[in-house]
Amino acid sequence: MKKTLYLRILIAYFFFGLFGFFAVATIVSRLTAEYCIRDKARTLYGEAARISDTYALQLYNSKVSLEEVQAQMEALSFYMDTEIWILNPSGRMVVNSSHAPDPSQETYVENFDSTSPAGNYYTTGTFFDSFQEEVLSVMAPITSDFKIRGYVVIHMPMKKILADADSMLNISYMLLVILLVLSLIILLFFTEYVYRPLKRIIAGAEQYALGNMHYHIPVEREDELGYLSASLGYMADTIARAEDDQKKFIANVSHDFRSPLTSIRGFLEAMLDGTIPPERHEHYLQVVLGETDRLTKLTNGLLTLNNLNTGGMLLQRTDFDINAVIRSVAASFEQTCVSRNIHIRLVLTGKILYVNADLEKIQQVLYNLVDNAVKFSRPDSVITIDTTEKGDTVFVSVRDSGIGIPKDDQNLIWDRFYKTDLSRGKDKKGTGLGLSIVREIIRAHDENINLVSTEGVGSTFTFTLRRSDKNDSLSSMGEPET
Ligand code: ADP
């Protein structure tokens, strides 16, 4: 049988009940009997001491008659349900509440030994074989003039005391039963509120393990179990989403690889079968080269993204001048800008502005942003790159007055392969990977990037960088450079 938590709890409950009954039947029963005997003995001893100080002493001092004492003892013993004796030191019976001793015939308690209780004021047993059944006997000395004149002995049948102990023990049994019933209620409560939901959660986890990520665990509560089931559901959703993303990613990659490959194949076949005449070959070979460029760009982009994603990006942080990096990136677009009459304006804070970041990766971010700005700018327009500092942060913005990005697309452009419909006509070579790479790099730096764009007006991408302490050692800051 499977050792479930529930089974263990049931076994523990069973043993708890069994041990409870065993403990009451043995330990508690013995303790109760001992307690009852001691308690009775104390009460009887008090009585015996009182009798020895009053009736017995008066008897020995001849202040009352034997008959009178006998009658008193009989009444008292009837009332107390006991047997009262008055013995002289040698054990001769002087008064016996159960039957008056015959004066003509002396009765002795055989082998009477007044020291026998040995430090205890009571004994249990047959009192020197005077009784057939077990009795509890207490013995109080009768003293006068510092001499022991005799003893008052009170006996009570053990049967009676043990019957009292038994009724007390019944209370313990009843308490135990109440305790067991209460713990059974707790067990039922546990079953309903903990065990059943837990089983449902386990069933849900098994479904997730089998790949059924859309399974809903029916535990909707506002406690730890509810939280656990919600967390598992959330985990399954995340995994399902990751699986969907992966499928989409592979579909996108295949699609983006297939189209240039199809066109390359088409042109090459047309050249081979003569559909394209030899004098046009150069033109189409240029087109084929362009397509292979696109494939290379795509492969590089994917590799970069993969490297950025695996095991967290390893940054090689250094202090470098961001203004210099911006100048060199802007310079690399000079040719393209000249051909389309686009002017790149630099509004840089200071001549040198040190930031602490990974130089190569930030270069890539700037390159991707400026590349997009140039691609989506109208001819004869201006692209502005500026740097500003606020406290420990440096803000870098790339602003264009190009086609802009529709509101609905502004959150999506960071996804891999995403391209807005507006841009498709303008940029056929784009891979849709550039901004994903930008976002990963900025995230790895624990910095932010945001976009403000209006369709038809232009876009501004602004990202933050950590300002380097090295700036503080530079005494002079130059004027903004345009
Ligand atoms: P791509 O290689 O296609 O440029 P990106 O990830 O860099 O890939 O950009 C994704 C899409 O975001 C672009 O295809 C374009 O639709 C839109 N986009 C990016 N930058 C701009 C911009 N400055 N102006 C207008 N649209 C832009």
Out of 275, 309, 343, a domain closes at 309
Q: What is the Å distance from ligand 1's center to 405 Cα?
A: 8
Q: Is residue 263 part of a domain?
A: yes
Q: What is the Å distance from ligand 1's center to 373 Cα?
A: 8
Pocket of ligand 1 contains residue 301 by CB under 6 Å: no
Out of 114, 129, 164, a domain closes at 164
Pocket test for ligand 1, best of 259, 435, 449 (most atoms within 8 A of CB): 435
Q: Is residue 169 part of a domain?
A: no
Mean pLDDT confidence for 377-396? 94
Least reliable range by pLDDT among 87-91, 202-206, 224-228, 425-429: 425-429
Pocket of ligand 1 contains residue 420 by CB under 6 Å: yes
The residues, any chain, with a CB within 8 Å of residue 82's CB and separated by 6 or more, are 44, 97, 154, 155, 156
Alpha-carbon dihedral angle through residues 26, 30, 32, 36, given to the nearest 10 degrees: 160
Which is it for strands 122-125 and 343-347: parallel, antiparallel or unpaired? Answer: unpaired
Q: What is the Å distance from ligand 1's center to 153 Cα?
A: 114
Pocket of ligand 1 contains residue 434 by CB under 6 Å: yes
The CATH number covering residue 364 comes to 3.30.565.10
Q: Is residue 480 part of a domain?
A: no
Q: Is residue 209 part of a domain?
A: no
236: closest CA among 218, 220, 212? 212
Pocket of ligand 1 contains residue 433 by CB under 6 Å: yes
pLDDT in tens, 133-163: 999 999 999 998 888 989 999 999 999 999 9
Q: From start to end of 110-179, where are the E strands?
A: 122-125, 135-144, 147-157
Q: Is residue 326 part of a domain?
A: yes
448: closest CA among 399, 396, 406, 408? 396
CB atoms within 10 A of CB 1: 4
Total domains, the chain: 3
Nearest atom, ligand 1, residue 301 CA? 2
Q: What is the Å distance from ligand 1's center to 49 Cα?
A: 111
- Residue with CA closest to ligand 1 atom 23: 373
In order of 39, 58, 80, 152, 158, the CA distances from 51 in angstroms are: 19, 10, 13, 7, 22
Q: Exposed, middle or buried, 217 (CB in 10 Å: 0-12/13-18/19+)?
A: buried
pLDDT in tens, 410-453: 999 998 888 888 777 667 677 888 999 899 899 989 999 999 99
Pocket of ligand 1 contains residue 402 by CB under 6 Å: yes
Q: Is residue 481 part of a domain?
A: no
One domain, residues 129 and 249: no
Q: What is the Å distance from ligand 1's center to 457 Cα?
A: 15
One domain, residues 15 and 126: yes
- Residue with CA closest to ligand 1 atom 2: 430
One domain, residues 157 and 14: yes
One domain, residues 359 and 277: no
One domain, residues 114 and 55: yes
d(CA 268, CA 275): 10
Q: Range of 405's domain?
A: 314-473
Out of 261, 279, 309, a domain closes at 309
Q: Is residue 132 part of a domain?
A: yes
Q: Is residue 29 part of a domain?
A: yes
pLDDT in tens, 305-363: 777 765 566 788 999 999 999 999 999 898 889 989 999 999 999 889 999 999 989 99
One domain, residues 146 and 34: yes
Instruction: Using the structure block, give the residue that is written with the tokens 């264009």.
Output: 400
